Structure formats: structure tokens, C-alpha cells
Structure 1
Amino acid sequence: MHTGKSDISGWLVRRASWHGWVVSAVVLSASVVNVARRTADGGMDNAIVVRAARTWLDGGSPYADPHFLYLPSAVLAAVPQALLPSQALRVLVPLVVTALLVAGWACALRIHGVWWRSRFAVLGLTALAVGFAPFGHLVRLGNWTATAVLALPLGLLCAVRGRWGAAGAVIGAAVALKPLLAPVALLFLFAGRRRALGAVVLVPAVASGGAALLMPDPAGFFTRTLPFLLRGQDDFVRLYEASPGAVLPRLGVPAGPAAALALAGAGWGTWCAYRRWRCADPGPLRIVETAALLMLSAFLVSRPSYDHYLVVVVPLLLAGALHPGAVARGPWFWLALVPQIPGLTWPFLEPETRRAFRDCLTLCLLVLAVSVAARPEPRPATAHSRGRSGSRQVGGTRAF
């Protein structure tokens, strides 16, 4: 009789998981179809990279467009898209971006030993797609941040399993496409993994250096893009930046003190990341929370810093919610996500150009939430891990 009840219970769990994945697939498919209907080229941000590749194919400089902020290797990576018609891109781009986000969520789950068919996996993905506005923004824009959303959890998964060389190669390849994950290099420095750190640096350096030799202006990234970034870009783009250095001047704070506050916050967050690493507790939380703090600290001071950058960090932290003491179990984490609930009305902040105020609040609260978790004393081991940090995970959360 006991065996029969167990079989029925297992069947119900599997059936509930299957139905949940169907619902999630419908939600994600609806998002892809909506973007394909509303955009002509797969998304505004992806179109910038594709135009740069087409300009290069026509013999021009991709850096003639000041809004092209990528390394030269990204130009070559965008060539296949440049050869496709716009009608194909309007469908393929949101589809590929969505697939990258789903794959990133799956890797984040595997870091914590969570079964991808569990109810937590299904509900978490659906919640991100429906209840986290930057997720939908990233799909709509077609921004290449989606590559980092996959690369960071994949790299950390390799590191958790002790394959630091592979982790360095994954992060380095992502930096070659978009330099967003460059701050993660500090994680390899904290861990004393010099060879893996070399991969983080050499992979994009070799890829971009080789690609630059094929450009009409090999130094265009340094002579055009970097000055544009250091100036804080143009007035239109600045309205959408979420870093305190861009938001505080809009509230009347002088630019100098605002930049100093942002830099101080980034320095404090980096110090907390180092303290989190020094905790040396077993399990994946150490690596995940250290990397998350490094990325969030960079977002505080980087220009630009947009709301969809949060998709790089939030799924990683959410996937660890089943661990005792995880950031996602604290109130600050969920309070930080409240401004990102789609459809929630905020007085005086409804215009699209004022969304950056909400994004800045979320960013600052997330830094606070993860920093609170960076305690100097070691944490007790959990059922999800064994041995020293970097050991393989056991399936402690599979039944959920």
C-alpha cells in the first residue's frame, strides 16, 4: 500500500511539472510572437550590431555608429545575421534570446543541484518571464546581454564542479561578444586560479585583436567608443541608465558627487564580495554570491547600466532559494524586485524615461541584499553540498 501511494504521488508530481512546463512554454512563445509582430529587425539593440556588421561588409567602419559599444570580435559574430533578411531576424532573434535565457536558468538550477523538471524550476522560469520586467525587455530589445545571461551561470557551474579552466574559457568567450562579464575576472583572482584568469583575458584579447586587424580602423574601439562611454554617452541614452552616477544628477545632485557616491558603492560592494569569498563555506552559494556582488558592484558604476543587466544576476540568486541562508530567502531581495513588477503603477514614475529611477532603486537594494549575506563567519554546510567549495553537488533538491 505504501508503494502504491508513492507511485501515485510521483505520478502527480511529474504530471504537475509537465503541465507547468506547458504553461511556461506558452508564456515564452507568446513573448516571442509578440516581439516578432512589433519589431522589424528582431530588436533595436540587436539591430545596432547587425548594422555594424553590414557596414563592415560594405567596407566601412562599424564604429562610425557611436551606439555600437562592442569589441571588434562582435562584428564578426554578427556577420551571419547581417546575411539574413529582416523577416527572418524578426523571428529568429527573439527566439534565440529566449532560448539563451532559458538555458541560463537551467544552468543556474544545476549549480544548486535542482532538477530542471521540478516544480521550483518551472515556477521560477514562469515567474521570471511574467513577473520580472527586465526579462521581457531583454527579449524585446534583442540585446546581446542574453549571451552573458547564459555564460555566467555556465561558467560558475564549471567552477563549482572544479573545472576552472573551462569556466575561464566560457567567461572569456562571453567577454569577446560583450564585455559585460569582465568584473567576474576578480572571482578567478580571489580563487587564485591564474591559468583560468589567463583564459578570461586571452580569449577576448586574441579574438578582438584578430578581428580588429580586419577593420578599416583597428583602433576604433579605443578612439571612438571609449571616449563616448567616458563622456556618459548622449542625452537620450542617459535617460535610461540605471547607475546612481546617471540617476542622481537628474535629481539635482552634482555630477561629481554622484559619480563619487557610485564609485564608493562599487568599492564597498567589491570589498563585500571579497569578504564573501573569504567565508570559505562549502557549497555553491559562495561562488554564486561572490560573482553576483562583483557584477552588481560594476553595474553601480558602469556607464551604461541598464535594467536588463539585472537578468544576468537575478536568476542566479533566485535559483539558490532552496538553500538555507541564501540571499533569495531574505526580505531585501524580494523588496528589491518590487519595482520590476510589470504593470505596477508608480506615482510620477510612469513615463518610460523615468523608469531608470526604479531600476536604480532595484540595483541598490540588490547590492544591499547580497552584501548582507557577505558575513565574515563561515556558514554551516547544507544538504546540497559536500566537501570543500568547488566539489560536485548532490541532488538534494531533486524531489522538489
Structure 2
Amino acid sequence: MLLRQLEPRSARTTAEVIKFALWPFAVMTVLNRVFIKAVNGFITDDFKPVYQAALDFVNRRPVYTANYDLVDPHYLYYPSGTLLIAPVAALHPEEARWLFILVNAAAILGAWYLLLRLFRFTLSSVVAPVLLFAMFMSETVTNTLVFTNINGCVLLAELIFIHLLLKRRDLWAGAALGLSLAVKPTLAPLLLIALARGQWKVFITALGVPVALTAIAWPLSKDPEKFFTRTAKYLFETRDYFNSSIPGNGEYYGLQPWLIWTIRVGMGVLVLISLWLLYRYYRQDELFFVCTASGVLLTASFLLLSLGQMYYSMMLFPFLMTVVLRNSVLRNWPAWLAVFGFMSYDKWLSDRWQHIGRDVEYLRITFGWGLLLIVVFCVLGDRYLAAKREGRLEFGIDPVWIKPVPSDGKTATTRMDSPSSANGSATATAKPISVEG
């Protein structure tokens, strides 16, 4: 059957033309990123301190000994994360790095498949090669593999969490999130999604898994307490290098603290209003709400907290995929200008216009995250004001071209590509645009 699928034939539809054109590009891009760029590596090597920490852990030597005055990558995982990555110390450093690359590449491919299924697409749809190509062309996937860090596994944990959360399998959803939190706190904001949906059992395993792993790792470690007395302090500090958050770039460009805090608070207010509108009017449209709210929360954490790095943007793939839903907040060009800022692998350093090129390169991620949050706020705010002005808030805030308001005052039941709930009172099953081949 597989060989039959690979048999060369002429496309008969536009969808088949796109698939036949993009599958070779997607597959070859994956192979290039995994076996060429990643294996070649780069001056930035996130794996070296991880391997050294694993080696120190299994040999009962101190782990948290990094000199934080240097700009080299530091080992920042929790003791529970050290326990999880310890097996790599059994291999030669180069073999261990290759294994880490393959594991993360496999995790990203697994996340790609789960993302397709989350929005009800199959491998035979035109979306499959488009999404695969877009993911592996992005800076976030490319540098995750080239720098050899664990973000691919974190993305897979996020997709598993979202799938299980939507299926109301709370304990298993929490376990998937907990494994991620045992290594690094990137996905911690997603606990607020479970809280908003009243899925309390998620917290049992999401917090229990890292606590249990820490309890196991503690007596096996030489200096586990140093993470909390030394490394944690560094994590809460704002560094002015390799940091695209508002405080990070603010310190790099020498902004006054009051101005940095004004920008952070202002953006925080926009985020809170956006989250309130999502909760108030979309929480029963489960797929849209979970993916959009998680994207807003994660983007806000990258932008507003002490550390935000460009390749964290990988965790926004579920949010970006909502563009296939009719009520998506991303169906406008400013949203994708923002996405270009933090996803593009392009470099803007210029030999001719050095100062301008450097500023564009350093600020495009910050501006991209910020613009994305502004777009979400503006789209939701415009929908709310329009619905209020037209006296249809009780039916939700989706524009009438998405969900017409019936004249009899009852919730419309007309089947649409991607219905959204009305004021949280009617359950809606989101269905993406049909783009099957």
C-alpha cells in the first residue's frame, strides 16, 4: 500500500498538485535539518552542559557548578530533570548527542502527527506536508535540533496534554505535563487552562510527577540543594544576552526600569482582557479555547517574564494551527507578520547597515510576540464591541458571518465549518476547513 502511494502519477486536483509538490520539499527539509544541520552543530551547544550534568550525576559529583558570569549555555534543569536525562551518560558524548537529536526529531514528528489529528486532518490531507514543511523550516525547530536541546520533547508533551485534556482524561494529561515540568517550567502556564476548565485532577499528576521524581533524585545527587539556592536565583534574574523578553531587551538597550515595567504592565493588561473574553465567550468551544488561550498564555510568559528565547516559540504551534478554524483570531496579515518575526530562520544582520540590521535582528522576536498579543486583543475586542453595539452579546461575540443570530432569539444550529459556542451556553464541536485531497 505504501509503495502504491509513492507511485508517480499526474495530479488531477489542485490539492494533489500541492501535495505532490510539497511532500518532497517537506521530507528533504526534515532530512537536512536532522542529519546535516543538527549533526554539523553550531557554536551554541545546549547539549554539552546537559551531557556533563548527566555524567556528574551518575558519578556522584556536583552538578550545579556553572559560572553564571559567562555567556556559555548553562545547565538549568531541576534535579528531577537530571534524573530523567542521566541515561545519556552511558554513551560516548558524540553518540549521546546524535541520540538526543534523533529523540527530539522523533518527538517533533510525533507532535506534528498529533497536531494534524487534533484539528481532524489526516496524513493524506494537503495540510500534512504544508505543516511538516513549515515546522522544519522554522527557526524554532531548526535551532532546537542544531543546538540540541530538549524542546522537541516538551512540544510533544504539550500536544499529548492538550489531546488528553480535551478528552477529559485528567490524570494522564497531568502526567504528560508533569514529565515536562520535571525538566523545565516552560509549559507551567497551561495549568491555568485546566483551572479554567475545572479539571482539578490534572494538578494531582502535573505536580505529583515532578515532586516524586525530585524525591527519587535527591538522595542520588551530590548537590541537589544547590539548584534551589544557586541556580533558581539565576533563573529569576534578567540577563541582557540571548533574551528576547521585554525585560531582557530592555536591559540590553538600557531602558529605564520604570519604562520596562510600564510596557510589561500594559501588555499584561491586554493579555488579561484577551483571556477574560476567551473564557467568557469561547470556553465551550473547546478546541478553539484551549489552543488559543494556551497560545496567549505561553506568548505572554515568553514576552513578560525574565527569560524568553526565540526557540520557545515552538510551543505556539497548536495556537498557530487554529488558523484553520473559521473563528480563528489569526486570519489577518498582522498576525502572520508577527509570526514571521519569531518563526523565520532568516537573519537580518547587515554588512551595509550594521546598526539597523542588528536592531531588527535582536528586536524582531520581541516585537513579534508583542504584535501577536496585540492582534489577539484587537480581534477579540472588536468582536466584543461589535456584538455589544448590535445587541447580540447573549449569543456570543463571533461575527454574524461566522454564526448568524436567529430572529426567534434561539441559538443558531446551522451547520458551519467551525461553529463556536454562544456565550458559553451551547457545546460546539469545532470542525476545521475541509482541505482534504
Which residue, out of 280, 285, 304, partners 1:282? 285
Matched residue, 1:89: 96
Give 3-state SS (helix, strand or coil) of 1:44's partner.
coil
Report the alpha carbon displacement of residue 146 of structure 1 after superposing the two structures with TM: 1.9
Cα-to-partner distance string for 1:232-255 (whole Å, 9 max, x where unaligned): 25xxxx321010011123233123
Runs (5+) with no aligned partner, structure 1: 1-7
Asked if residue 48 in structure 1 is aligned to residue 54 in structure 2, the reply is: no
Give 3-state SS (helix, strand or coil) of 1:63's partner.
coil
Report the alpha carbon displacement of residue 264 of structure 1 after superposing the two structures with TM: 4.6
Cα distance change of structure 1 residues 221 and 143 upon mapping to structure 2, 3 Å threshold: same
Which residue, out of 105, 113, 135, partners 1:98? 105
Instruction: Say whether the 8 Å CA contact 1:283–1:382 is kept in structure 2.
Output: no
Matched residue, 2:417: 383
Instruction: Say whether the 8 Å CA contact 2:42–2:146 is kept in structure 1.
Output: no
- Residue pairs, 1:192-341, within 5 angstroms: 192-233=198-239, 238-266=240-268, 268-279=270-281, 280-313=283-316, 315-339=317-341, 340-341=343-344
Matches of 2:347 and 2:222, distance apart in 1 = 48
Instruction: Say whether the 8 Å CA contact 2:335–2:371 is kept in structure 1.
Output: yes
Cα distance change of structure 1 residues 161 and 373 upon mapping to structure 2, 3 Å threshold: farther
Cα distance change of structure 1 residues 78 and 341 upon mapping to structure 2, 3 Å threshold: same
- Residue pairs, 1:169-208, within 5 angstroms: 169-208=175-214
Matches of 1:239 and 1:14, distance apart in 2 = 46
Give 3-state SS (helix, strand or coil) of 2:376's partner.
helix
Cα-to-partner distance string for 1:317-350 (whole Å, 9 max, x where unaligned): 2322221121331222211023343335465354
Matches of 1:70 and 1:120, distance apart in 2 = 35
Report the alpha carbon displacement of residue 76 of structure 1 after superposing the two structures with TM: 1.4
Asked if residue 122 in structure 1 is aligned to residue 159 in structure 2, the reply is: no
> Larger RCO: Structure 1 or Structure 2 (Cα < 8 Å, ≥ 6 residues apart)?
1
Matches of 2:78 and 2:187, distance apart in 1 = 13
Give 3-state SS (helix, strand or coil) of 1:327's partner.
coil
Matches of 1:174 and 1:203, distance apart in 2 = 9
Matches of 1:25 and 1:176, distance apart in 2 = 32
Cα distance change of structure 1 residues 386 and 10 upon mapping to structure 2, 3 Å threshold: farther
Matches of 1:10 and 1:219, distance apart in 2 = 64
Which residue, out of 115, 124, 141, partners 1:108? 115
Matches of 1:118 and 1:162, distance apart in 2 = 27
Instruction: Say whether the 8 Å CA contact 1:160–1:390 is kept in structure 2.
Output: no
Cα distance change of structure 1 residues 247 and 156 upon mapping to structure 2, 3 Å threshold: same
Report the alpha carbon displacement of residue 382 of structure 1 after superposing the two structures with TM: 4.5
Instruction: Say whether the 8 Å CA contact 1:269–1:297 is kept in structure 2.
Output: yes
Amino acid at match of 2:292: E
Matches of 1:147 and 1:17, distance apart in 2 = 28
TM-score by length of 2: 0.78
Cα distance change of structure 1 residues 382 and 219 upon mapping to structure 2, 3 Å threshold: farther
Cα-to-partner distance string for 1:276-327 (whole Å, 9 max, x where unaligned): 12213425111100111111111122222100011111x2123222211213
Matches of 2:241 and 2:63, distance apart in 1 = 24
Amino acid at match of 2:309: Y
Greater helix content: 1
TM-score by length of 1: 0.85
Matches of 2:432 and 2:252, distance apart in 1 = 49
Cα distance change of structure 1 residues 46 and 264 upon mapping to structure 2, 3 Å threshold: farther
Instruction: Say whether the 8 Å CA contact 1:284–1:385 is kept in structure 2.
Output: no
Report the alpha carbon displacement of residue 10 of structure 1 after superposing the two structures with TM: 7.7
Cα-to-partner distance string for 1:348-373 (whole Å, 9 max, x where unaligned): 3545x974322111111122223334
Instruction: Say whether the 8 Å CA contact 2:39–2:146 is kept in structure 1.
Output: no
Which residue, out of 145, 153, 164, partners 2:159? 153
Instruction: Say whether the 8 Å CA contact 1:269–1:293 is kept in structure 2.
Output: yes
Instruction: Say whether the 8 Å CA contact 2:47–2:149 is kept in structure 1.
Output: yes
Which residue, out of 10, 22, 25, partners 1:23? 25
Runs (5+) with no aligned partner, structure 2: 1-9, 69-73, 385-395, 404-414
Cα-to-partner distance string for 1:47-84 (whole Å, 9 max, x where unaligned): 22221111112221211125221111111111121211
Amino acid at match of 1:133: E
Which residue, out of 325, 348, 362, partners 2:368? 362
Q: Count how many residue pairs are aligned between Structure 1 and Structure 2.
A: 386
Which residue, out of 79, 82, 85, partners 2:86? 79
What RMSD over aligned residues (CA atoms) do the two structures have, in Å?
3.1
Report the alpha carbon displacement of residue 128 of structure 1 after superposing the two structures with TM: 2.8
Structure possessing the higher radius of gyration over alpha carbons:
2
Instruction: Say whether the 8 Å CA contact 1:176–1:207 is kept in structure 2.
Output: yes
Identity in percent: 19
Give 3-state SS (helix, strand or coil) of 2:141's partner.
helix
Point out the more displaced range, 160-169 or 328-337: 160-169
Amino acid at match of 1:304: L
